[in-house]
């Protein structure tokens, strides 16, 4: 069995990885086609995007005969551009609204909560997957200031969930499913950025609440399979995995660190600004726009298209604009005269305008009811700002080439590479808004392969983090979790200075170990919707015997009817004799004492156990009782209970005072408490942030 | 205070990072000089190594006039070479033996244990640091088949420990010190491989037993500071951080995956082979060679030098030979005709010979009583094997250029790049012996910046891991921990199927909460060397009240004498009244109920507390009592207790049965149990390994 299980793990993870890779390639291809459709069409075949249409023709813009703009007249082209944007956004928003509400938004916050143990039925279902996959290209093509990387993680997790559900071992075990989801999220980032190791780091730094080497290895494998699949499908026909991959030939100089620090500060300020105002927009949206999600998305797309048309960096796709901004000037990097010294000040204005405008659009667009990520928009903003700074530094150098600061340049006119500033700006903005560090370094590194730019990237992110910590913000994913009130424990440890007894639930739905008949249990199940029941000895002291999950109880009640002759009056027992136990433990080869032998095992085996323990007189429920739930004493400080939840990952912790059950805490109880306690104090630069 | 502490953290971590960078640069420079000294000397100055001596002269071997070989006659040169090797190894081994025994070996296993909570006095002290730093260049220069990367981690941790000890906050808190050590280990790898992110990954994948974002961020920062310092010192004067950094221009082809799989298999087999036989050598060494450490090292160095001289890849430094093997043939990569087709078969023989011989030397050398790592030797072995395979594949291609397998090559003679095979082989061997995956990918990536080689590297490591898992080996660091019997919990979860009550220590040294005088406590401290004492109520039920560490008890007994008039008969109390508590909690601003208010705080504050609670009649010990130690019930399965240790990191877990203390477990108790249980079954391909 061990061998089969091991093989199955490999198989499931690779299958998940491959499906994610295929799906990502399809989304990329459709997105590229739809984006170009706003500008024109290909006469060789309507299904070709501009790049493929002009495949044989080298070198560019005007020389491609098969590609036709919709019109030559400017107002007509502009109108068609806006009309397409409106159509795309309407289709997407309407589809999301009418068929799969969960497909809206980025999804990262929710998946964090799901990985932390929160159950959201249907969030990873087929409907969500399908609608998100087809609306995502529409949204990106509509020109809204949202990205596809966050949703791509959500889609990947849907794939992971759907594929793994086909296998009994995963569908019945929450823990195993979470491992697959963590691996899927790694693969999602891996295909979104063409960065397999970045994906693994993302799953460690952002997603997983419990870190283990095994999970890391699964993420590694899943990300590898997804990337290899994507690379084999080669959606851009360029060998590149993402549109904005670049390579740098030139090195940086120590004096540039001053400017890198400016980029870092920008990243920190940008992150704090967006998080703050996006939350206010979200509050406004919830209050006033709840019933007009489609109209909201359409109007946003329209405004973005109307205004964006007039800026050369906002008219085109964000990934495309990034690939332009990142490039060195040599070797075809001179898009729209961006490298011309004569035009440098108009270019700076244009970039500044794009930066400011895009920030505004991101603040209002992120969170509207279509699939929408914030990774790429943030990077695009950072890139425009960075390029602007780069051009300015270059201008400074040209103005004072002999100044002591530029001494190392030795009159080499290529001393400053504005493209690298764009690149570092993108890293700073991404890190500022998500509060990720190592992940961002690895992703940026995997986008360029520029060995020499690791240190500058790290320096920039260091400053970004320092600024962010000083302003006291956390990442947007965490803020959204808090805003939506999801049950999720922050990873920072707070000191609350209260014992757990202050927080615990004292009125419990307990079940005595014996003396109940099926009718009683059915009644109790109907009367409450708690997720599980503590089992107590039927003595006065209410000694704790174990804990049974509601789902397990439900399951065995239903299944047992097929095997046993059960009436409503059949007594049930949660206790076992030694002889009962030995009967069952011959069936299962894993620790009987650890939990109930039948907790979380697969269908076949549990049916076998039901058959083994079946008798006419009583229904044996004890194999499904977890006999050693995690218990703590009522005086244990809340902080430690939180750490137990975070590090051990139980659904519930029981509070036992000298042997008798006195209460119970779940993550929800803790959060209810902390939400009130938290607002009191949040000091900037507090030590735990470091 | 929060602000000061935060600033101090930043300061300490950057100081540690910078010291590590400086130390690494010095070691690199001295190593390069000593290595060249074996071959000849510089007439411009004895302190110059060959590279600096020939600095102005471009292009190579024979044209440098200032550099003189010791002799022109072959036997004389050979003799001098061997003599230098013997001298270096003797000096190193003698220094280690006579002054700092802990400087021997790699140190990674021990540091893993220290980070897991094990205390080894002096292991990170100044003596160890100093001796290891000066003997390391000697050992590398002596030509022994050992590397400097493992020891470099140890040295970095020494630096971290020494620097942080200067600050009260770190020297009195085990937890904080462990964080600094984790960060130092990241910086150690970062400077050894010029790979800051690789260092961070190493600290996550190999070192830290409890993962937290904060620790990761500290490691990131420390590695950055160390790498920036190293890069500013620029020890090789080439802008490179390590000697074997390379860049690749060419891409790989899908058909090459077949050969990559062979490299992966080699890595797995190599790892299993070395781990198995090195442990046998270690057992032999312990049994028979314990009293001849110096002689052993000298003889090994002599044999290595005598035989190695005759192989062109073993005569030179391992890092140098790697840099030769990794290079592409174009652009000066043709060292000693390695790229000449006419000489390809002699070259294959030479490489095979080097591979086999070096494996033999590694097996016997790793673990001898000088500073000795296994990273670089493994990589060198993988590189020779990989280059050999690469040359063979190239020969195959030249022989059958039209075969369908090579169809994609399109008659381009540069289709196969043997250098990349060497590179991938090095990754495979390193991963095989250490059982690291993500870390190795990141390190190899940071060595080359070859974006396109991430996927091949991942594929190779996948195969290596599969082979290693199939053969059932673990990494050499873990095997060494087991071999040496250090108290360290493996990260894999085993199922033992016993409750914790089977393993716990039942005979405890408890202290009643009141009724003891100082003499009693002194007597009890003298009578036993346990690390701490449970405090119980003086009733019949032995209700648990708390736990006090031996060191805290010792500390307060000593300090209180300065403040209070204490006689041997002064009664002590571990109990506190509410009024006592409020007095103390006005001094400290962190949770009084969590632990004793004075557990692990700094010197000034604890003196203040002693003064506040001082009175003539009784010695107040309660502020140093941890009032809520982690407790579990005796029926809790051992697996969960292990997870508690691993994830929560306590020193001790108390066993409480319905309110009364019945036992206690430490990591040591668990290990004693598991060592006997473990040997019973270890199945290959078991699911948990995946």
Q: What is the mean pLDDT of residues B550-562?
A: 80
Lowest mean pLDDT among A199-213, A567-581, B474-488: A567-581
Cα separation, B646 vs B491, in Å, equals 8
Clarify whether residues B160 and B306 are in a common domain.
Answer: no
Name the pLDDT band for A601 (thresholds 50, 70, 90): low
Lowest mean pLDDT among A235-249, A372-386, B421-435, B580-594: B580-594
Clarify whether residues B202 and B303 are in a common domain.
Answer: no
* Mean confidence (pLDDT) of chain B: 81
Please state, as a whole number, how many other Cβ atoms lie within 10 Å of the Cβ of residue A127: 14
Q: Do A2 and B686 touch (CB under 8 A)?
A: yes
- Residue B593: which of A2, A6, A499 has the nearest Cβ? A499
Going from the C-alpha of B47 to that of each of A283, B29, B31, B37, B689, the distances in angstroms are 70, 10, 12, 10, 51
| pLDDT more than 90, % of chain B | 19
A249 in any annotated domain: no
Residue B285 has pLDDT above 70, yes or no: yes
- Residue A10: which of B224, B450, B690 has the nearest Cβ? B690
B607 at the A interface (CB within 8 A)? no
B665 at the A interface (CB within 8 A)? no
Clarify whether residues A528 and A467 are in a common domain.
Answer: no
- Residue pair A424/A187 in contact by the 8 Å Cβ criterion: no
Clarify whether residues A58 and A142 are in a common domain.
Answer: yes
pLDDT digits (tens, 9 = 90+) for B470-495: 888 788 888 888 888 777 776 666 66
Q: What is the Rg, in whole angstroms, of the alpha carbon atoms belonging to chain B?
A: 29
Collapsed DSSP state (helix, strand, coil) of residue A652: strand
- Residue pair B205/B434 in contact by the 8 Å Cβ criterion: no
A315 in any annotated domain: no
| pLDDT more than 70, % of chain B | 87
Q: What is the pLDDT of residue B672?
A: 77
- Residue pair B458/A224 in contact by the 8 Å Cβ criterion: yes
Clarify whether residues A475 and A525 are in a common domain.
Answer: no
B434 in any annotated domain: yes
Q: Do A687 and B200 touch (CB under 8 A)?
A: no
A154 at the B interface (CB within 8 A)? no
From B332's Cα to the closest Cα of chain A, the distance in A is 19
A vs B, Cβ pairs < 8 A, gives 198
Token pair of B435, please? 């059982």
β-sheet bridge partners, residue B665: B653
Cα separation, B555 vs B261, in Å, equals 59
Provide the 8-state DSSP code for B251. Answer: P
Provide the 8-state DSSP code for B328. Answer: -
Q: Do B633 and A628 touch (CB under 8 A)?
A: yes
Nearest to A574 by CA among A540, A625, A538, A614: A625
Name the pLDDT band for A520 (thresholds 50, 70, 90): confident
Collapsed DSSP state (helix, strand, coil) of residue A83: helix
Q: What is the pLDDT of residue B585?
A: 63
Report B:670-689 residues touching A (Cβ under 8 A).
Answer: 683, 685-689
Q: Do A210 and B647 touch (CB under 8 A)?
A: yes
Q: Which residues contact B127 (CB under 8 A, 6 or more apart)?
A: B99, B100, B102, B103
| pLDDT more than 70, % of chain A | 87
Q: Do B686 and A495 touch (CB under 8 A)?
A: no
- Long-range pairs for A290-295: beta carbons < 8 A, 24 or more residues apart: A293/A93, A293/A96, A293/A97, A293/A104, A293/A368, A293/A369, A294/A90, A294/A93, A294/A94, A294/A97, A294/A369
Q: Do B196 and A683 touch (CB under 8 A)?
A: no
pLDDT digits (tens, 9 = 90+) for A616-674: 677 777 777 887 788 888 878 787 888 788 777 777 888 887 778 888 888 888 877 77
A684 in any annotated domain: no
Q: Which residues of B touch A658 (CB under 8 A)?
A: 543, 658-659
Q: Which residues contact B461 (CB under 8 A, 6 or more apart)?
A: B264, B267, B427, B428, B431, B437, B440, B441
Q: Do A197 and B648 touch (CB under 8 A)?
A: no
Q: What is the mean pLDDT of residues A331-354?
A: 78
CATH number, domain of A160, equals 1.10.3080.10
Collapsed DSSP state (helix, strand, coil) of residue B460: helix
Q: Which residues contact A534 (CB under 8 A, 6 or more apart)?
A: A508, A510, A511, A544, A546, A547, A629, A654, A661, A664
pLDDT digits (tens, 9 = 90+) for B624-640: 787 778 888 887 878 78
Q: Do A446 and B451 touch (CB under 8 A)?
A: yes
Q: What is the mean pLDDT of residues A522-532?
A: 84
Task: Please state the domain count of chain B.
Answer: 3
Q: Do A590 and B495 touch (CB under 8 A)?
A: yes
Q: Higher-confidence residue: B449 or A589?
A: B449
Q: Do B491 and A213 touch (CB under 8 A)?
A: yes
Provide the 8-state DSSP code for B500. Answer: G
Strands B532-536 and B514-517: unpaired
A582 at the B interface (CB within 8 A)? no
Q: What is the mean pLDDT of residues B428-441?
A: 90
Q: What is the mean pLDDT of residues B509-522?
A: 82
Instruction: Please say whether the dihedral angle defined by the alpha carbons of residues A194, A199, A200 and A201, taken in this order, is positive or negative.
Output: positive
Please state, as a whole number, how many other Cβ atoms lie within 10 Å of the Cβ of residue B119: 11
Q: What is the pLDDT of residue A494?
A: 63
Cα separation, B201 vs A437, in Å, equals 13
Name the pLDDT band for A581 (thresholds 50, 70, 90): low
Cα separation, B201 vs B446, in Å, equals 12
* Nearest chain B residue to A230, by CA: B455
Q: Do A647 and B3 touch (CB under 8 A)?
A: no
Clarify whether residues A11 and A57 are in a common domain.
Answer: yes
String of DSSP letters for A411-429:
T-TTS--HHHHHHHHHHHH
Residues across chain A: 690
Name the pLDDT band for B363 (thresholds 50, 70, 90): very high
B588 at the A interface (CB within 8 A)? no
Collapsed DSSP state (helix, strand, coil) of residue A567: coil
Q: Do A197 and B442 touch (CB under 8 A)?
A: yes
B490 in any annotated domain: no
Residue A594 has pLDDT above 50, yes or no: no
* Nearest chain B residue to A682, by CA: B2
Residue where a domain stops, chosen among A459, A484, A509: A484
The domain containing residue A658 runs over which residues?
Answer: 500-677
- Residue pair B120/B175 in contact by the 8 Å Cβ criterion: no
Q: Do A647 and B210 touch (CB under 8 A)?
A: yes
Clarify whether residues B158 and B95 are in a common domain.
Answer: yes
Collapsed DSSP state (helix, strand, coil) of residue A107: coil
CA angle at residue A151 from A146 to A152, to 5 degrees? 120
Residue B684 has pLDDT above 50, yes or no: no
Residue B66 has pLDDT above 70, yes or no: yes
B/e letters for B635-651, b = 16+ CB within 10 Å, e = fewer, are ebbbbbbbbbbbbebbb
B690 at the A interface (CB within 8 A)? yes
Q: What is the mean pLDDT of residues A451-460?
A: 84
A314 in any annotated domain: no
Clarify whether residues B105 and B45 are in a common domain.
Answer: yes
Name the pLDDT band for A690 (thresholds 50, 70, 90): very low
Q: Do B437 and A593 touch (CB under 8 A)?
A: no
Cα separation, B687 vs A590, in Å, equals 13
Q: What is the mean pLDDT of residues B285-304?
A: 87
Characterise A239 by phi-psi region: left (phi > 0), alpha (psi -120 to 50), beta (else). Answer: left
Clarify whether residues B312 and B174 are in a common domain.
Answer: no
| pLDDT more than 90, % of chain A | 19
Nearest to B16 by CA among B137, B146, B186: B186
Q: What is the pLDDT of residue A586?
A: 62
B683 in any annotated domain: no
A296 at the B interface (CB within 8 A)? no
Q: Which residues of B touch A169 (CB under 8 A)?
A: none
Q: Which residue has the tokens 């503590």?
A: A534
Collapsed DSSP state (helix, strand, coil) of residue B517: strand
Residue where a domain stops, chosen among A484, A508, A539: A484
From B449's Cα to the closest Cα of chain A, the distance in A is 5
Token pair of B684, please? 């290959």
Our measurement of the distance from residue B375's CA atom to the centroid of its chain's CA atoms, rounded to an integer in Å, reads 10
Please list the alpha-helical segments (H only) found in B100-233: 108-115, 126-141, 149-165, 168-171, 174-193, 196-202, 213-233
Q: What is the ipTM metric for this complex?
A: 0.78
Nearest to B187 by CA among B170, B166, B163: B163
Q: Do A254 and B232 touch (CB under 8 A)?
A: yes
Clarify whether residues B341 and B402 are in a common domain.
Answer: yes
- Residue pair A150/A373 in contact by the 8 Å Cβ criterion: yes
Q: What is the mean pLDDT of residues A65-82?
A: 80
Cα separation, A131 vs A93, in Å, equals 10
Cα separation, A625 vs A611, in Å, equals 17
Q: Do A639 and B594 touch (CB under 8 A)?
A: yes
Query: Which of A1, A6, A223, A501 best tests the B interface by mutation, with the highest count of B CBs <10 A?
Result: A6
Q: Which residues of A touch B454 (CB under 8 A)?
A: 196-197, 446
A3 at the B interface (CB within 8 A)? yes
* Mean confidence (pLDDT) of chain A: 81
Nearest to B92 by CA among B134, B34, B146: B134
From B331's Cα to the closest Cα of chain A, the distance in A is 16
Clarify whether residues A192 and A260 are in a common domain.
Answer: no
Q: What is the pLDDT of residue B274?
A: 93
Clarify whether residues A132 and A264 are in a common domain.
Answer: no
Cα separation, B261 vs B268, in Å, equals 11
β-sheet bridge partners, residue A571: A517
Q: Do A228 and B455 touch (CB under 8 A)?
A: yes
Q: Which residues of A touch B659 (CB under 8 A)?
A: 657-659
pLDDT digits (tens, 9 = 90+) for A91-144: 999 999 888 888 888 888 888 888 877 778 888 889 999 999 999 999 988 888
A247 in any annotated domain: no
A514 at the B interface (CB within 8 A)? no
Q: Do B197 and A441 touch (CB under 8 A)?
A: yes
Residue where a domain stops, chosen among B480, B515, B547: B480
Cα separation, B206 vs B116, in Å, equals 12
CA angle at residue B457 from B453 to B459, to 5 degrees? 120
Our measurement of the distance from residue A97's CA atom to the centroid of its chain's CA atoms, rounded to an integer in Å, reads 21
Report B:89-148 residues touching A (Cβ under 8 A).
Answer: none
Q: Higher-confidence residue: B613 or A380?
A: A380
Q: Which residues of B touch A213 (CB under 8 A)?
A: 205, 491
pLDDT digits (tens, 9 = 90+) for B518-528: 888 888 888 88
Q: Do A451 and B454 touch (CB under 8 A)?
A: no
pLDDT digits (tens, 9 = 90+) for A29-48: 888 888 888 878 877 777 77
* Nearest chain A residue to B253, by CA: A232
Q: Do A497 and B594 touch (CB under 8 A)?
A: yes
Residue B24 has pLDDT above 50, yes or no: yes
- Residue B658: which of A10, A228, A659 has the nearest Cβ? A659
From B636's Cα to the closest Cα of chain A, the distance in A is 6
Lowest mean pLDDT among A218-222, A386-390, A594-598: A594-598
Residue A606 has pLDDT above 80, yes or no: no
């Amino acid at each position: 069995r061990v061998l089969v299980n091991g093989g199955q793990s490999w198989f499931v993870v690779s299958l998940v990885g491959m499906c994610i890779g295929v799906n990502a390639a399809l989304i990329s291809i459709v997105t590229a086609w739809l984006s170009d459709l706003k500008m024109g069409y290909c006469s060789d075949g309507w299904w070709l995007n501009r790049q493929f249409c002009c495949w044989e023709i080298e070198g560019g813009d005007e020389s491609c005969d098969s590609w036709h703009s919709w019109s030559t007249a400017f107002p007509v082209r502009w109108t068609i551009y806006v009309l397409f944007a409106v159509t795309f956004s309407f289709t997407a928003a309407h589809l999301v609204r009418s068929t799969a509400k969960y497909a809206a938004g980025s999804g990262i916050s929710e998946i964090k909560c799901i990985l932390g143990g929160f159950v959201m039925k249907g969030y990873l279902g087929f409907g969500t997957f399908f609608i998100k996959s087809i609306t995502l290209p529409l949204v990106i093509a509509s020109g809204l200031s949202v990205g596809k990387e966050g949703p791509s993680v959500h889609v990947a997790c849907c794939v992971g969930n759907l594929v793994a559900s086909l296998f009994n071992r995963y569908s019945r075990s929450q823990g195993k499913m979470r491992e697959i989801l963590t691996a899927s999220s790694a693969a999602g980032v891996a295909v979104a950025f063409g960065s397999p190791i970045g994906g693994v780091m993302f799953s460690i730094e952002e997603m997983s609440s419990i870190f283990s080497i095994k999970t890391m290895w699964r993420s590694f494998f899943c990300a590898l399979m997804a990337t290899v699949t994507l690379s084999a499908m080669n959606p851009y026909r360029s060998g590149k995995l993402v549109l904005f991959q670049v390579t740098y030939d030139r090195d940086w100089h120590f004096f540039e660190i001053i400017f890198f620090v400016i980029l870092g500060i920008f990243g920190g300020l940008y992150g704090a600004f967006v998080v703050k105002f996006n939350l206010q927009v979200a509050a406004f949206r919830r209050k006033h726009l709840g019933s007009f999600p489609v109209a909201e998305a359409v109007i946003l797309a329209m405004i973005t298209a109307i205004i964006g048309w007039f800026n050369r960096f906002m008219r085109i796709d964000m990934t495309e604009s990034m690939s332009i901004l990142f490039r060195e000037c040599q070797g075809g990097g001179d898009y729209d005269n961006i490298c011309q010294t004569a035009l440098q000040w108009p270019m700076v204005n244009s970039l500044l305008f794009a930066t400011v405008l895009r920030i505004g659009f991101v603040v209002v667009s992120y969170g509207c009811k279509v699939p929408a990520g914030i990774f790429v928009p943030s990077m695009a903003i950072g890139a425009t700002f960075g390029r602007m700074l780069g051009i300015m530094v270059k201008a400074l150098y040209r103005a004072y080439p002999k100044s002591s600061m530029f001494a190392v340049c030795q009159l080499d006119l290529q001393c400053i590479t504005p493209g690298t500033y764009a690149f570092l700006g993108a890293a700073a903005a991404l890190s500022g808004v998500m509060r990720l560090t190592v992940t961002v370094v690895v992703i940026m590194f995997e986008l360029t392969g520029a060995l020499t730019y690791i240190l500058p990237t790290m320096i920039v992110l260091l400053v970004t983090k320092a600024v962010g910590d000083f302003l006291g913000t956390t990442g947007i994913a965490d803020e959204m979790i808090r805003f939506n009130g999801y049950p999720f424990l922050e990873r920072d440890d707070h000191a609350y200075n209260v014992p757990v007894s202050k927080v615990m639930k004292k009125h419990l739905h307990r079940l005595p170990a014996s003396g109940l008949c099926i009718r009683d249990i059915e009644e109790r199940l109907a009367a409450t919707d708690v997720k599980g029941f503590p089992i107590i000895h039927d003595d006065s002291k209410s000694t704790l015997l174990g804990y049974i999950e509601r789902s397990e109880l439900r399951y065995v009640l239903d299944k047992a009817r097929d095997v046993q002759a059960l009436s409503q009056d059949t007594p049930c027992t949660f206790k076992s004799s030694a002889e009962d136990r030995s009967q069952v433990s011959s069936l299962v080869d894993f620790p009987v004492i650890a939990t109930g032998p039948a907790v979380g095992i697969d269908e076949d085996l549990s049916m076998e156990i039901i058959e083994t323990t079946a008798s006419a007189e009583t229904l044996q429920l004890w194999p499904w009782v977890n006999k050693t739930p995690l218990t703590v004493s009522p005086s244990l400080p809340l902080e430690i209970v939180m750490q137990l939840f975070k590090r051990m990952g139980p659904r519930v912790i029981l509070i036992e005072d000298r042997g008798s059950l006195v209460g119970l805490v779940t993550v929800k109880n803790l959060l209810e408490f902390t939400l009130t306690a938290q607002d009191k104090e949040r000091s900037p630069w507090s030590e735990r942030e470091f």
